Amino acid sequence: MILDKLTDFSRRTGPVVLCIMDGIGYSPYEDGDAYKAAYTPNLDHLHNICPNKPLLAHGTSVGLPDDGDMGNSEVGHNAIGGGKIVSQGAKLVNEAIATESMFSGTIWEKLINNVRHKESTLHFVGLFSDGNVHSHINHLKAMILKSKEQGVKSIRIHTLIDGRDVGETSALEYVGPFEQFLSELREGGLDIAIASGGGRMKLTMDRYEADWPMVEKGYNCHVHGIGRQFESAEAAIRTYREELSCIDQNLPEFVIAKDGEPIGKIQDGDSVIFYNFRGDRSIEFSLAMESEQFDAFDRGTHPDIEYAGMMEYDGDEHIPNQYLVNPPLINGPMGEFLSHNGISQYAISETQKFGHVTFFFNGNRSGKFDDNLETFIEIPSSLTPFEENPWMKASEITDSTIEAILSGKQDFVRINYANGDMVGHTGDFNATRIACEVVDMQIGRLIKAVKAANGILLITADHGNADEMYERNKKGAAVENSDGSIKPKTSHSLNKVPFIVYDPQGASYLTFADDEKAGLGNIASTCINLLGYKAPDDFAPSLITLK
């Protein structure tokens, strides 16, 4: 894994700093763009004086099935750090279902045989939408139909309501047709029903151990049937909306009950499939469901079940123990090459995106390649709602990063500012505008540090979000609610993202390659070039040509 040095370019004495502005892209619209509306003097200045190029960050450019698929932080950081594009979660699951390789696998057969032999229940838990970032409802339907075909008699679904990767109040657009789907299956003799649910930001789907009580709430709801009872998921959604005026992702937990008794508790002898394919928000619930030694919260009487995830969510820690589809294999990511060539690395973010600059960036590996060369810094995230604290931990991240840049000990520094994405997901335009301004302010601080250290600053994003805060119809017009207000968009965008090269000494020595299809996968080769090396042959080409 030894890299050849460039003979016609000498790297700067300071570090190459890669700044990832999570969720900030280029929108074709003026209205609804919180990034354009923000006061961003530092980014504006860099756009005017520095070489820059818009990059693709969605669809096939990051390994997703279709160019209509939104990018996300997981696949974005895989592409940036991996230096190559591999088939990602949704595409892998699509292929496994289309070829039926999933259903002939030993784990699927084990779970199905378990409930058939014990005459018990098969449970599906997961994000209930077609957002295709964490899950897809068509995957759920395909598994239900196959399990019925294979003789399963009883099925329960635990619906984590989205409103984040899809419209913020779109839940009933999924629940209604799905209930019709279930009704037709019941007419065919299958005992099947929605058993529990709640908003994705209220239960079950925490990540990076930021909020274990959120997982506990989901566990108690799905497993023990603890929560406010309703006769149907639709009744729960309508009631909570009327009482709390909350959007889908913030719906409290609900339990479907008959005569006061939950209809779908997870019990001894059952099989459970967590059908999310994305890993970050699946690990903690998987640990709660399958770990023998578990102390994050009191699980009460823990049922003896067969549990599997859609994929292996952590390849190093092997979480979960059982999974249906093999994860993407990203061999030889940039970080591994840098470590083998003695290049020190510094990775930092707050908890919300820490795994993205470490685990995902390193090709889905949770460890380090070289403990002596790599420093990982996690700034603990606040539990304050993002729209109430759009500053998040950006300032603290910058404090530590500046210290690293000026230390003279780091060759390659990577940062993720989560503000544009996490605040953008709330649908709060003004808070998201402030989030963009916060990131710009931190970039101003980085510019000074990079200049003082004689380094190079690269600025990009993993996908868009803050750039498109309004829902739009097919003609591109903003969608209005019944009261005349604009309907907020809480999901990612399909827009290109920035890539800016700031060299305090001037960057006349480089030109951008003329490639309209350039994307996040081309960044790794670019970083390696600016560190003074030739990129590996199997990496996507560099974005730049060095004179």
| Selected catalytic residue, list 27, 61, 73, 491 | 73
- Token output for 74: 């997981």
Please list the helix, strand and coil fractions of the chain in percent, rounded to the nearest 5, in that order. 35, 20, 45
CB neighbour list of residue 296: distance below 8 Å, 6 or more residues apart: 209, 212, 215, 216, 284, 287, 288
Domains delineated in the chain:
16-87+330-546 (3.40.720.10), 90-325 (3.40.1450.10)
127 and 200 in contact (C-beta within 8 Å)?
Answer: yes
3-state secondary structure (DSSP) of residue 342: coil
pLDDT, position 358? 96
d(CA 205, CA 199): 9
pLDDT, position 214? 97
Closest CA to 108 of 150, 137, 141: 150
Count how many residues are written for the chain: 547
pLDDT, position 315? 62
Three-point CA angle 391, 208, 226, nearest 5°: 105
- Token output for 392: 């998040």
pLDDT, position 406? 98
458 and 522 in contact (C-beta within 8 Å)?
Answer: no
3-state secondary structure (DSSP) of residue 213: helix
pLDDT, position 514? 86
3-state secondary structure (DSSP) of residue 350: strand
Quickly tell me which residue has 């300032």 as its tokens.
395
Element (H, E) at 196: strand 191-199
Could you tell me the pTM of the whole model?
0.77
259 and 283 in contact (C-beta within 8 Å)?
Answer: no
111 and 308 in contact (C-beta within 8 Å)?
Answer: yes
CA separation, residue 359 to residues 311, 342, 374, 395, 463 (Å): 15, 20, 13, 23, 18
Closest CA to 358 of 301, 415, 435: 415
Establish whether 493 is a catalytic residue: no
d(CA 265, CA 226): 9
In the predicted model, residues of the chain with pLDDT beneath 50 are none
Closest CA to 170 of 237, 221, 227: 237
d(CA 270, CA 372): 46
Phi, then psi, of 128 in degrees rounded to 5: -105, 80
pLDDT, position 118? 97
